[in-house]
């Protein structure tokens, strides 16, 4: 008992001395340093929460209108779909996988990472400066687009195609193509797509594409195509290119590159296992999987759950 008492007294004395030394160090430390250390500690805690639990995200573009507006501040659930161990490094197992109709945040497939150390530093500075300083920029000074937010439209096993901007889906095991809205409604999934290009504009868009193909081939375009304004082609670049490649294929069927592109437009995209096909709700103002292809679920970082700012838009996200 005497030895236990002596050991306990020594342990308590050591702890007391350590607390006194720490208190003296804090008293001798400059108040500004205390503030800096407190801010750095808070930033580290927020970084850990952002990495593994949920993250705040500001909507930067109009690609998800009218579901999400430019400037909306949202919370993204990262835990349920499995967070990354470190930015850009091995994804941890999640409680679920992305499903059709969900709004997800994923790493931009065209983004060239500078490594996890740079990403952590960038996020730290971004938070400490209250989002005023972002060191992840292009050579021209524009912010680099690291993350995208879109709705999961196509799912593993689907085949998906476009007809004049409208989405058609053939689910795995089905021989029938369904309009997106019809399929979503049959599954009880919300569909919020809006269009800015009217059906009446597509004959002009396709005519511009055909004229472009004839001119590329040094052939005078047929008079029946008329002289539509070339600016209309920018309203749906994919419809323009589909018309263009279709004519180029008819002019020279032996060109394998043109034949492959034309075949993709006609047959659509096949979505392999472990991938999803995300698209913006604002279909005619969104750069999404139609341009860079299906996205691996390992690149899906979380699911958009809640708008917390501005006050008038507070609420859940569907």
pLDDT of residue 277: 97
Structural domain includes residue 251: yes
pLDDT of residue 128: 65
* Structural domain boundaries, residue 7: 1-51
Structural domain includes residue 255: yes
pLDDT of residue 224: 93
Structural domain includes residue 236: yes
pLDDT of residue 114: 84
Residues near 7 by beta carbon (within 8 Å), at least 6 away in sequence: none
pTM confidence score: 0.82
Structural domain includes residue 185: no
Structural domain includes residue 239: yes
Structural domain includes residue 61: no
The total domain count for the chain is 2
- The domain boundary residue, chosen from 264, 287, 311: 264
Peptide bond preceding 66 in cis form (omega within 30 of 0): yes
Structural domain includes residue 318: no
pLDDT of residue 24: 60
Structural domain includes residue 35: yes
Choose among 310, 279, 307, 281: nearest CA to 293.
279
pLDDT of residue 157: 94
Q: What does the pLDDT profile of the chain (318 residues) look like in tens digits?
A: 565 556 565 655 666 667 666 666 655 656 666 677 777 787 777 778 877 888 888 898 999 998 999 999 999 999 899 888 877 777 888 888 899 999 999 999 988 888 888 887 887 777 666 566 788 888 887 888 888 999 999 999 999 999 999 999 999 989 999 999 999 888 888 778 999 999 999 999 999 999 999 999 999 999 999 988 888 888 999 999 999 999 999 999 999 999 999 999 999 999 999 999 999 999 999 999 999 999 999 999 999 999 998 999 999 998
């Amino acid at each position: 008992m005497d030895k236990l008492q002596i050991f306990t007294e020594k342990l308590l004395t050591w702890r007391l001395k350590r607390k006194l030394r720490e208190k003296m160090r804090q008293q001798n430390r400059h108040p500004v340093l205390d503030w800096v250390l407190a801010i750095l500690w808070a930033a580290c805690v927020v970084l850990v929460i952002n990495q593994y639990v949920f993250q705040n995200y500001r909507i930067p573009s109009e690609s998800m209108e009218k579901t999400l507006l430019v400037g909306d501040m949202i919370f993204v659930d990262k835990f349920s779909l499995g967070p990354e161990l470190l930015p850009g490094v091995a994804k941890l197992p999640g409680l679920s996988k992305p499903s059709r109709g969900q709004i997800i945040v994923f790493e931009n497939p065209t983004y060239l990472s500078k490594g996890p150390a740079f990403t952590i530093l960038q996020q730290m500075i971004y938070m400490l400066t209250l989002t005023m300083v972002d060191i992840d920029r292009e050579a021209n000074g524009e912010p680099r687009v690291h993350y995208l937010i879109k709705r999961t439209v196509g799912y593993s096993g689907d085949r998906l195609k476009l007809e004049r901007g409208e989405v058609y889906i053939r689910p795995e095991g089905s021989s029938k193509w369904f309009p997106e809205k019809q399929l979503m409604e049959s599954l009880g999934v919300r569909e919020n797509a809006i269009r800015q290009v009217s059906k009446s504009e597509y004959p002009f868009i396709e005519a511009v594409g055909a004229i472009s193909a004839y001119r590329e081939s040094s052939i005078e375009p047929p008079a029946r195509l008329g002289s539509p304004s070339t600016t209309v082609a920018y309203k749906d670049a994919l419809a323009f290119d589909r018309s263009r490649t279709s004519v180029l294929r008819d002019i020279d069927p032996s060109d394998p590159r043109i034949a492959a592109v034309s075949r993709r437009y006609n047959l659509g995209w096949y979505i392999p296992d472990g991938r999803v096909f995300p698209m913006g709700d604002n279909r005619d103002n969104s750069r999404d999987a139609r341009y860079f292809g299906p996205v691996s679920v390992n690149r899906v970082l979380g699911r958009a759950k809640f708008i917390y700012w501005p006050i008038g838009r507070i609420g859940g996200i569907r």
